[in-house]
């Protein structure tokens, strides 16, 4: 809807901050009206944003959250107190700033970013939690004068855009540290990547706090060891906010909020008997994390047959990790998202030693696999955010819309 109304292809990427800065200025710089926290990294950005939102909302603050990509509807990207922006507000923004958008020609993501800042200002929020879309140096979220930055785990992804080594990717992400006085935190990235972030922070007379994992957390909905690191980062950010903004959110309250945080598309159990499990994991590190979590999940549940359906976007370095999946799933099926630049299912098939099934029609593939599964089986669907609309069509309202 949105892309059609302003003639912007949703998948087109434009580099640089100038269009976002110009557009924000034409909208009276709404980003100046609240305290913003930018979340960067490769994996876990959305989870950390969700955790932070839950903690701050529970503490009585008005919180705006900007995340991407969405699962089903673009409204998911912009939330105030965990309630999606309405179609009415989207149209209000477009009607008000349509001509200015035409003049600047922003990308889809740039326009969404500015819309988010406009809506947050209008909603009189206290804090904005902004998930970086891609990289850091040239991402439109970086244009929002963020007071605090939190870095999740940095690994290989989008290497064709950000660089062909983890260090180059880390340098690109570190450049979001771009002004004096920013408060910076990161999970422990290891000596080499920590040094990249420390060096960039020093360029602006900032320090960066390296967060070590401490006691494990208890989760109701989140699953996997990697989420302890995400939760520790979110908790550390809130404790830092306590110091600089004179908040009074105690550790017990933080832990209670972390316990009940839910984030769709991450080890999400959509249905039982058979168990239908969906995850957006789409790069080597997230696929490895998912498999480690699934192995433990299977030990508890003892599934009779384990099925998995893969569908990815192109340019993903995932061959090595997918080969390991072959040891843990009896039935492997390859398909395609058929959205943006989908990886041909034949390319996925070639990864495996044994012969596996393949089909371009993901909806039919999911339906047929589930139909053949027994009540004691598990069907995993994994590889992309762009699988979600098909799942939402098959399983009505499996992604709750507030």
- Please report the pLDDT score of residue 134 as a whole number: 84
Judge if pTM exceeds 0.85.
yes
Q: Using one digit for the tens of pLDDT, what is the confidence trace for 43-59?
A: 999 999 999 999 999 99
- Please report the pLDDT score of residue 5 as a whole number: 52
- Domains of the chain listed by start with CATH number: 2-260 (3.40.1190.10), 268-394 (3.90.190.20)
Q: Using one digit for the tens of pLDDT, what is the confidence trace for 264-308?
A: 999 999 999 999 999 999 999 999 999 999 999 999 999 999 999
Cβ atoms of 363 and 390 within 8 Å: the answer is: yes
- Residues in the chain, pLDDT under 50: 1-4, 6-7, 158, 163, 402
Q: What does the alpha-carbon distance between residue 297 and residue 326 come to, in Å, rounded to a whole number?
A: 17
């Amino acid at each position: 809807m949105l892309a059609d109304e302003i003639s912007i292809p949703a998948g087109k990427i434009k580099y640089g901050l100038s269009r976002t800065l110009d557009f924000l200025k034409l909208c009276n710089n709404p980003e100046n009206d609240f305290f913003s926290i930018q979340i960067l990294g490769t994996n876990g950005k959305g989870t950390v944003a969700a955790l932070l939102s839950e903690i701050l909302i529970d503490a009585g603050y008005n919180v705006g959250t900007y995340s991407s990509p969405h699962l089903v509807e673009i409204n998911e990207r912009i939330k105030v107190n965990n309630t999606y922006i309405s179609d009415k507000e989207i149209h209000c923004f477009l009607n008000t700033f349509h001509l200015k958008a035409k003049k600047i020609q922003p990308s889809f993501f740039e326009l969404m970013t500015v819309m988010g800042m406009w809506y947050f200002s209008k909603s009189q929020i206290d804090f904005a939690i902004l998930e970086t879309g891609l990289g850091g140096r040239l991402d439109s979220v970086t244009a929002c004068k963020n007071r605090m930055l939190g870095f999740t785990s940095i690994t290989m992804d989008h290497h064709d855009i950000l660089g062909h080594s983890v260090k180059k990717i880390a340098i690109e992400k570190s450049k979001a540290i771009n002004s004096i006085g920013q408060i910076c935190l990161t999970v422990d990235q290891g000596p080499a990547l920590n040094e990249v972030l420390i060096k960039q922070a020093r360029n602006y007379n900032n320090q960066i706090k390296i967060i070590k994992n401490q006691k494990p957390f208890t989760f109701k909905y989140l699953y996997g060891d990697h989420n302890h690191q995400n939760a520790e980062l979110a908790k550390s950010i809130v404790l830092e906010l306590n110091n600089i903004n004179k908040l009074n959110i105690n550790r017990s309250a933080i832990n209670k909020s972390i316990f009940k945080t839910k984030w769709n598309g991450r080890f999400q159990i959509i249905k039982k008997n058979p168990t239908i499990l969906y995850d957006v994991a789409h790069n080597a590190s997230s696929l490895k994390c998912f498999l480690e979590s699934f192995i433990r999940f299977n030990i508890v549940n003892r599934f009779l047959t384990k099925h998995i359906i893969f569908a990815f976007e192109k340019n993903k370095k995932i061959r090595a990790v997918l080969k390991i999946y072959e040891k843990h799933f009896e039935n492997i099926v390859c398909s395609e998202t058929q959205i943006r630049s989908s990886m041909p299912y034949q390319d996925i098939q070639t990864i495996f030693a044994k012969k596996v099934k393949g089909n371009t029609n993901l909806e039919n593939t999911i339906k047929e696999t589930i139909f053949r599964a027994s009540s004691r089986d598990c069907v995993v669907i994994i590889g992309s955010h762009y699988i979600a609309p098909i799942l939402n069509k098959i399983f009505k309202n499996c992604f709750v819309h507030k």
